[in-house]
């Protein structure tokens, strides 16, 4: 298992994951390696459409589906995918079709589990420049589930605990929910949530990748140097007041 976090802020969306993958040897012993890239920018004709993160108990199957989608549906010949919303719907249809109709063509090592869990998050701005997070997972037959604030996939318990504690500072009071934190603050928060989760489980790693999505679906990948600087800054966080101070909220 792994972790992926998306949070909507006042001026953009932060999407972050760890890079840990689980490797099982022939006798069933697990090894962890921080080598997996789980973030992807979906674009078409030099235009960004969405940021995507995937968390799965079958990494091979997940990657196979993503590569097939990029190759078949984001080609220059496809003129129907020019908005974030159209891409979300198309990706949902593609996953269902690929699994139900073409699973027999997938390499055997990708489908050897009796049951696989696939969990994707797509983030972007709709036609009215409203920030949105969509979750598509195997438990709901990949029906797009819209989130207006945040979502945590994979190993969510620790991150959910902190998000609930910080809720009013990030999104205001119930009945008047709107993003309040800057994208710079949310970069720090995403790193903190992943590192805190790592303390409780080896399945989540300390090596992090991150991207931001701003209005117009302008997507930027955050380099490792900036992420390392954030790690250094937040390493001593112990309580809610300290978190808020470090985040600048």
For residue 114, what pLDDT is reported?
A: 46
Residue 232, judged by CB atoms within 10 A of its CB (0-12, 13-18, 19+), counts as exposed
Phi, psi of 129 (to 5 degrees): 60, 40
pLDDT digits (tens, 9 = 90+) for 134-168: 999 888 888 999 998 999 998 899 999 999 999 99
Residue 37, judged by CB atoms within 10 A of its CB (0-12, 13-18, 19+), counts as exposed
The pLDDT mean for the chain works out to 83
Looking at per-residue pLDDT, the higher value among 96 and 122 belongs to 122
Nearest to 118 by CA among 101, 98, 132, 133: 98
Q: Report whether pLDDT(26) > 70.
A: no
Across residues 181-186, what is the average pLDDT? Answer: 94
Q: Report whether pLDDT(16) > 90.
A: yes
In Å, how far are 21, 28, 184, 206, 232 from 240, measured between CA atoms? 30, 40, 18, 21, 18
CA 225 to chain centre: 20
- The enclosing H or E element of 248 equals none
Residues 33, 213: contact at Cβ < 8 Å?
no
- The enclosing H or E element of 47 equals strand 47-56
pLDDT digits (tens, 9 = 90+) for 200-215: 998 899 999 999 999 8
Least confident window among 25-34, 201-210, 222-231: 25-34
What structural domains and CATH numbers belong to the chain?
Answer: 3-247 (3.60.20.10)
CA 118, 73, 91: angle at the middle one, nearest 5? 35
The band of 174, judged by pLDDT with boundaries at 50, 70 and 90, is: low
Start-to-end Cα distance in the chain: 31
Q: Report whether pLDDT(112) > 60.
A: no
Looking at per-residue pLDDT, the higher value among 106 and 124 belongs to 124
Phi, psi of 105 (to 5 degrees): -90, -5
**DSSP state at residue 223:** P
Q: Report whether pLDDT(241) > 90.
A: no
């Amino acid at each position: 298992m792994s972790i992926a976090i998306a949070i909507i802020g006042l001026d953009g969306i932060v999407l972050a994951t760890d890079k840990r993958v689980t490797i099982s040897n022939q006798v069933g012993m697990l090894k962890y390696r921080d080598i997996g890239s789980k973030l992807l920018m979906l674009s078409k004709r030099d235009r960004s459409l969405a940021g995507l993160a995937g968390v799965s108990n079958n990494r091979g199957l997940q990657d196979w589906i993503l590569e097939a989608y990029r190759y078949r549906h984001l080609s220059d010949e496809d003129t129907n995918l020019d908005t974030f919303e159209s891409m979300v719907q198309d990706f949902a249809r593609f996953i269902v079709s690929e699994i139900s109709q073409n699973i027999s063509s997938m390499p055997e090592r990708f489908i050897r589990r009796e049951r696989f869990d696939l969990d994707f998050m797509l983030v972007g701005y709709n036609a009215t420049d409203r920030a949105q997070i969509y979750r598509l997972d195997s438990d709901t037959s990949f029906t797009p589930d819209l989130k207006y604030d945040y979502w945590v996939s994979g190993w969510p318990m620790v991150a959910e605990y902190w998000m609930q504690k910080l809720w009013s500072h990030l999104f205001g009071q119930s009945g008047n929910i709107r993003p309040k934190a800057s994208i710079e603050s949310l970069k720090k928060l995403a790193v903190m949530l992943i590192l805190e989760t790592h303390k409780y489980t080896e399945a989540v790693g300390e090596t992090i990748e991150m991207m931001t999505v701003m209005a117009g679906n302008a997507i930027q990948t955050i380099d490792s140097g900036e992420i390392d600087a954030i790690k250094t800054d937040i390493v001593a966080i112990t309580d809610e007041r300290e978190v808020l101070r470090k985040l600048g909220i």
